[in-house]
């Protein structure tokens, strides 16, 4: 016989897992600690599995607890989206879509999409976008919890999408080619492309962790080990260091659309040297306001991104 799960006990367990202890979760929920502990104990009894182990520092999830927490997050996310969908039906002013995106997408894609939705001629009020800046690694958890409705993320060609493809609806929206940037002070012959190895003796500034890993793979492909002296994911800082001829760097072209220092020169790399941009949303998402926002984001992306090279499409190798 398949065990039944009490939804209230499931959310109690989720609170304990989130806060790391029964005491902290009880304070957050306004319950007594014995009452909360009893809820989780009854859940464990109904499932026939230990979900948490108590330690001096709080609680630690067992393997069964980790798996159940994943489902609890999905359920809570569905409930949050359901509440917003009903609120949107009752009040058009409540048609708010929560969008999360990485910095250069916020300025080059999300902001133009927001302007388009505000300026449209349709007399019916359009959806409102609540924007939060987030790096791609934090997006899946936000979508699961219902803390975000739509996410803009990127991936480099070598990075696998297994898991995300199964869990979320994934919509490719374009290709963001990489650019080598150097100081204008260097002069040199007019050219549109350049090899990284031409700067093997230079000092480099690297970006976010995934950008840095990809850059190191490119450098290895060209047969050199870069001298990385600086690290920052702030592209204004990157460009300032490059403009002053203190380093060279590889950056996504989208970051140069958002802001371009007059003291830098940019060169293209290979056709497949870039990152793929995608929109992620919960599977089964049907709210019209979410689909409206997704359509506006796709139109904005089409104005600043290239078509995706064939071998970089999801699922291809």
Range 54-91 burial, b when 16+ CB lie within 10 A, else e: eeeeebebeeebeebbeebbbbbbeebbeebbeebeee
Q: What is the pLDDT of residues 67-96, one digit of tens each?
A: 888 888 777 776 776 666 666 555 655 578
Q: Give first-to-last CA distance, the chain, whole Å.
A: 43
* pLDDT at 264 > cutoff 90: yes
Average pLDDT, the chain: 86
The answer to whether 145 touches 77, Cβ cutoff 8 Å, is: yes
Task: Name the maximum alpha-carbon separation found in the chain.
Answer: 76
Phi, psi of 147 (to 5 degrees): -75, -10
Dihedral angle of Cα 86, 91, 94, 96, to the nearest 10 degrees: 70
pLDDT band at 315 (very low <50, low <70, confident <90, very high): very low
The pTM (predicted TM-score) of the whole model is 0.73
- In this structure, whether the domain defined by 95-317 belongs to CATH 1.10.10.10 is answered with no
Where do the structural domains in the chain lie, given as residue ranges?
7-75, 95-317
Q: What is the pLDDT of residues 102-157, one digit of tens each?
A: 999 999 999 999 999 888 756 666 788 899 999 888 888 888 888 899 999 998 86
pLDDT band at 12 (very low <50, low <70, confident <90, very high): confident
Residue 112: is it exposed, middle or buried by C-beta count within 10 angstroms (0-12/13-18/19+)? middle
The domain 7-75 is placed in CATH, from the list 2.60.40.1180, 1.10.3720.10, 1.10.10.10, 2.60.40.10, at 1.10.10.10
Structure tokens at 161: 């999408």
Q: Where do we find the tokens 């359920």?
A: 75
CA distance 163 to 146: 18
User: Angle at CA 268, nearest 5°, toward 176 and 108?
Assistant: 35
Q: What is the pLDDT of residue 93?
A: 58
The answer to whether 139 touches 151, Cβ cutoff 8 Å, is: yes
Q: Is the CA virtual torsion 132, 309, 232, 214 positive or negative?
A: positive
* pLDDT at 162 > cutoff 70: no
Q: What is the pLDDT of residue 303?
A: 96
């Amino acid at each position: 016989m398949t065990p039944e799960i009490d939804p209230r006990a499931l959310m109690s367990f989720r609170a304990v897992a989130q806060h790391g202890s029964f005491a902290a979760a009880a304070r957050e929920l306004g319950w007594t600690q014995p009452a909360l502990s009893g809820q989780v104990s009854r859940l464990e009894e109904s499932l026939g599995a230990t979900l948490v182990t108590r330690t001096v520092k709080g609680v630690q999830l067992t393997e069964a607890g980790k798996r159940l927490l994943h489902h609890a997050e999905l359920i809570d996310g569905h409930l949050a989206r359901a509440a917003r969908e009903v609120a949107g039906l009752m009040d058009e002013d409540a048609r708010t879509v929560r969008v999360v995106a990485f910095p250069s997408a916020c300025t080059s894609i999300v902001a133009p999409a927001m302007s388009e939705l505000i300026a449209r001629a349709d007399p019916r009020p359009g959806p409102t976008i609540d924007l939060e800046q987030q790096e791609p690694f934090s997006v899946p958890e936000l979508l699961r919890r219902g803390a975000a409705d739509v996410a803009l993320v990127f991936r480099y060609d070598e990075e696998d999408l297994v898991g995300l493809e199964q869990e979320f609806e994934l919509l490719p929206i374009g290709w963001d080619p990489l650019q080598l940037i150097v100081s204008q002070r260097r002069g040199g012959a007019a050219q549109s492309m350049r090899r990284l190895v031409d700067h093997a003796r230079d000092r480099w500034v690297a970006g976010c962790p995934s950008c840095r890993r990809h850059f190191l793979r490119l450098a290895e492909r060209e047969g050199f080990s870069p001298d990385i002296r600086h690290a920052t994911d702030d592209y204004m800082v990157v460009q300032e260091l490059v403009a002053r001829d203190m380093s060279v760097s590889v950056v996504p072209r989208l970051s140069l659309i958002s802001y371009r220092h007059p003291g830098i020169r940019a060169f293209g790399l290979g056709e497949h040297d870039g990152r793929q941009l995608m929109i992620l949303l919960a599977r089964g998402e049907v709210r019209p306001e979410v689909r409206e926002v997704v359509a506006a984001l796709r139109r904005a992306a089409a104005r600043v991104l290239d078509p995706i090279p064939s071998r970089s499409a999801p699922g291809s190798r």
